[in-house]
Amino acid sequence: MNNSKSTVLQARGLVKRYGHVTALDGADFDLYPGEILAVIGDNGAGKSSLIKALSGALVPDRGTVKLDNETVNFKSPMDARNAGIETVYQNLAVAPSLDIADNLYLGREQLRPGILGKVFRMLDKKAMHDNARQKLSELGLLTIQNINQAVETLSGGQRQGVAVARSAAFAKHVVIMDEPTAALGVKESRRVLNLIKDVRDRGLSVVLISHNMPHVFEVADRIHIHRLGKRHAVIKPDTHTMSEAVAIMTGAMDPHEHAAGAFAV
Amino acid sequence: MADSSTLKTTQTADHELVAASAGGEVASFEKETLSFVEKTHRFFHANPTAAPAIVLLLAVIAFSMIIGDRFLHPFNMSLILQQVTIIGILGIAQTLIILTAGIDLSVGAIMVLTSVIMGKMAIDVGLPPEIALLAGIAAGAIAGYINGILVTLFRLPPFIVTLGTWNIFFALNLWYSKSETIRSQAIEQTAPLLHWTGHTIELFGAKLTYGSLLMLALFALIWYALNWTAWGKHVYATGDDPGAASLAGIRTNRILMSVYIVAGAICAIGAWALIGRIGSVSPQAGMTANLDSITAVVIGGCSLFGGRGSIFGTLIGALVVGVFRNGLALAGVDVLWQEFTVGLLIIVAVGMDQWIRKV
């Protein structure tokens, strides 16, 4: 393990049980500044629970989470967001009938300055629309003609774009993306993958949960393999092949038997 | 790192080369050629109030051709406004609830109960009318709070909750009023404030009641809250997709609670308008108000599935019902055909909504 580098986000010994089911069984996690860390694991390995614990959607029974070496106790996704961790959920978490700008600012609306905002709670629609337009074009994602368009009228890739733009625009430290390319076509996936690299190049750390090995191996700097509720191995795309990663993930290969070892960080 | 990533790209992305050479932007808003039906669909999707507004316009044109000046006379127009005032106010409350994908069957019962409370407090208890009015509005908010608690904390379906509280509030109303009406004269003597909503001002031959103006002011207020505050956006988001809303950091239960409380208070303002309109306080008044308010909201283009619709749609919906009832009555058509027409409008409106909601 590399202890000389400081982590952005770290977890130690996370445990979460639902009745007799153990979703997290002493899971560890390390995320370094400016990297894309992929998290892979078989269905039921506890990836989702790990991600939820890091994004505040789940409160672990035991274990610690540290952000910038400070212990944090997220009680809700709001806490994590306020601490600078943004999550793009698999089901996108957008309000379909609201427009693009509304969705970008959902839950953190900007008010008009002065008495209009303070007393009448009036939204600063113009500022939010202008900022939304700017964020989207900065990310080179959408050539928006109508930012007042309802999100439900967008294609899957465009919606994903809105969700990614929202997290990238507001994240201060970490963006967590849960299966961002799962529902997308080939070309739309390409755009989202480029977007993920853009987000990293802007200095943020990215956690990418994906089942798509080619995507993982293309964009990830390191790969965290989750198995049976804990971190089983951490590999790099240039030390292991995809089939080795899958073999480790499913238990067909002991990561320690690999030349690069179980923790090739 | 750069070497390995290019290596990976060549290894893994052969299939993407083919796709890339196909050209064209995926995530851009392309200019599409749309058929007339698609264009119409887009238009109604973007403007949910358009359909009821067109129906209202056509109805006004049709009735003015059939009946003539008698229908279009400002006095008759203001009469329609008076007739829709109570349903309009309850419709505002109903719209808020329906936007959250709920339904409130108890709005009429809350209105009658709070009107009795206002009357009793002013006449029997002898409180100043201002305090009696506020007590009624507070009672309305509490009634809404009870609905809200049952919907959020106990996670019961709004339909069932309000079906239950409808009966409970109505029974409480009969018990508290002892099924007795408070006469208009008594109110006029001790608490004329309660009659304020029935007073009229003349404007170009139109007789506008303060109650109607109060309704319009409430519409404007709630329009502002829904469209220009974060609360409004959160109401829409909660009704649209509660899961997504809470992941976005919205405390959906709080939003639901606030909506039920505000709706209850608005019903109590409806009670004030009711006293002004009928003069007395009757525990039997407003029996059909529950369903009429839902009718106005549905005809106004609000989706019963939540998250979709506008508050002014409800005003237009209430006016559509008012215009049809008034026009058919003036044309000498039997009352039963008024009911028939309203029923037809409801079904057409819901059918439209099903079509419009499709993307």
- In chain B, whose CA is at the least distance from the CA of A217? B8
Q: What is the mean pLDDT of residues B38-50?
A: 82
Beta pairing, strands B206-209 & B200-203: antiparallel
Task: For residues A226 and A122, state if they share a domain.
Answer: no
How far, in Å, CA of B116 to CA of B113, rounded?
5
**Within-domain flag for A20:** no
Q: How far apart are CA B202 and CA B40, in angstroms?
A: 41
Q: Which of A93, A157, A218 minimises the CB distance to B27?
A: A157
Question: Could you tell me whether strands A174-178 and A21-31 are parallel, antiparallel, or unpaired per DSSP bridges?
Answer: unpaired
**DSSP assignment, residue B5?**
H
- Check whether residue A89 and residue A131 sit in a common domain: no
In a domain, B30, yes or no: no
Instruction: Note whether A118 and A208 are same-domain residues.
Output: no
Residue A214 has pLDDT above 80, yes or no: yes
Extract the tokens encoding A253: 């290969």
Give tens-digit pLDDT for A150-194: 888 887 777 877 888 888 888 888 999 988 888 777 877 888 888
Asked whether residue B42 is domain-assigned, the answer is: no
Which two structure tokens, joined as six digits, stand for B339? 């009911």
Closest approach of A105 to chain B, Cα-based (Å): 9
Is B265 a domain residue?
yes
Residues 6 or more apart whose Cβ sits within 8 Å of residue A181: A160, A188, A189, A192, A193, A210, A212, A215
Shared domain for A208 and A249, answered yes or no, is: yes
Note whether A121 contacts B25, CB cutoff 8 Å: no
Where do runs of H (alpha helix) occur along B24-106? Answer: 36-46, 50-66, 69-72, 74-99
pTM for the structure as a whole = 0.85
* A77/A56 same-domain check: yes
Domain that residue B226 falls in: 50-353
Predicted confidence (pLDDT) per residue in B309-321, tens digit: 999 999 999 999 9
Continuous segment of H or E residues that includes residue A71: strand A70-72
Contacts of B197 (CB under 8 A, 6+ apart): B209, B210, B211, B214, B272, B273, B275, B276, B277
What pLDDT was estimated at residue A151? Answer: 86
Verify that A241 and A127 share a domain, yes or no.
no
In angstroms, rounded to a whole number, what is the distance separating the alpha carbons of residues A137 and B237? 25
Task: Enter the ipTM.
Answer: 0.80
Which domain does A109 fall in, by range? 98-149
> Is A102 part of a structural domain of the chain?
yes
Instruction: Looking at the structure, tell me whether residues A120 and A228 fall in a common domain.
Output: no
- How distant is the Cα of A154 from the closest Cα of chain B, in angstroms? 9
B155: left (phi over 0), alpha (psi -120 to 50) or beta: left
- A94 contacts on B by Cβ (under 8 Å): 241, 244, 248
Choose from B11, B12, B17 for mutation: most chain A CBs within 10 A: B12
Please name which of B295, B115, B125 lies closest in space to residue B211, comparing C-alpha atoms: B115
CA distances to A7, A261, B206, B318 from B324, in Å: 69, 80, 19, 10
* Number of domains into which chain B is organized: 1
Distance from CA of B19 to the nearest CA of A (A): 7
Domain for residue B292, yes or no?
yes
Task: Give A147: exposed, middle or buried? Use CB within 10 Å, 0-12, 13-18, 19+.
Answer: middle
The CATH code of the domain that includes A234 is: 3.40.50.300
Query: How many CB atoms lie under 10 A from the CB of residue B186?
Result: 16
Q: Are residues A85 and A119 in the same domain?
A: no
B183 secondary structure, DSSP code: P
Nearest to B16 among A150, A186, A238 (CB): A186
Residue with the larger pLDDT of the pair A23 and B137: B137
Residues A37 and A164 in one domain: yes
Mean pLDDT of A44-50: 88
> Tokens 């939204």 belong to which residue?
A123
- Nearest residue of A to residue B239 by CA position? A95
CA dihedral B233, B239, B244, B246 (to 10 degrees): 70
CB-nearest to A93 from B45, B236, B244 is: B244
Whether residue B44 lies inside any domain: the answer is no
Q: Over chain B, what is the mean pLDDT?
A: 89
| Number of domains chain A contains | 2
What pLDDT digit, counting tens, does each position of B190-219 carry?
Answer: 999 999 999 999 888 888 999 999 999 999
Task: Find the CATH number of the domain harbouring B125.
Answer: 1.10.3470
pLDDT tens digits for range B270-298: 999 999 999 999 999 887 888 899 999 99
**Do A120 and A248 lie in a common domain?**
no
Chain pair A-B, CB pairs under 8 angstroms? 119
In a domain, A165, yes or no: yes
- Specify whether A231 is located in the same domain as A249: yes
A246 within a domain of the structure (yes/no): yes
DSSP 3-state of A150: strand
Are A159 and A118 in a shared domain? no
- The mean predicted confidence, pLDDT, of chain A is 86
Mean pLDDT of all residues in B126-141: 96
Contact criterion met (CB below 8 Å) for B222 and B88: no
